[in-house]
Amino acid sequence: MRRIEEGPEHFAIDEDLPLLPIEDEEEIRHPAKDHKNARLNLVAVIGLLCIFIFIISTVLFAVLYAKLLKSKNMPEWPKPSPSVLGEYSTAAVAADNEMCSDIGR
């Protein structure tokens, strides 16, 4: 450390010099490099976790859907009406407006 003398009793310390010796020049140039790497690692881990959860859930739902299709408990849907004009023998209309009820008759 270099001292600048201002008098026999007073010593001033040069403010530009570090108090501790610098061991690595990279620390001076890039002090926040470790924080950026840690943040990048955290984002990468979260991203990979999301991708992993998405793949697992997709496979799970595909297996469950395939199992459901092969099941004997699937309901039989009725065949479509043979009516060409869309007229049905039994039907109901539920509406909040009088005009909609008239259209449905």
pLDDT tens digits for range 44-88: 999 999 999 999 999 999 999 998 888 777 777 777 767 666 666
Output the CA–CA distances (angstroms, integers) from residue 100 to 55, 73, 86, 89, 104, in the order listed.
47, 38, 17, 19, 6
The tally of domains found in the chain comes to 1
With respect to residue 12, please indicate whether it lies within any of the assigned structural domains: no
The answer to whether residue 64 is domain-embedded is yes
Indicate whether 3 belongs to any domain: no
Q: Please spell the DSSP secondary structure of 76-100, one letter per residue.
A: PPPPPP--SS---SS-----SSHHH
Q: From CA 99, how far away is CA 101, in angstroms rounded?
A: 5
Domain that holds residue 53: 42-69
pTM of this prediction exceeds 0.85: no
**Domain membership flag for residue 37:** no
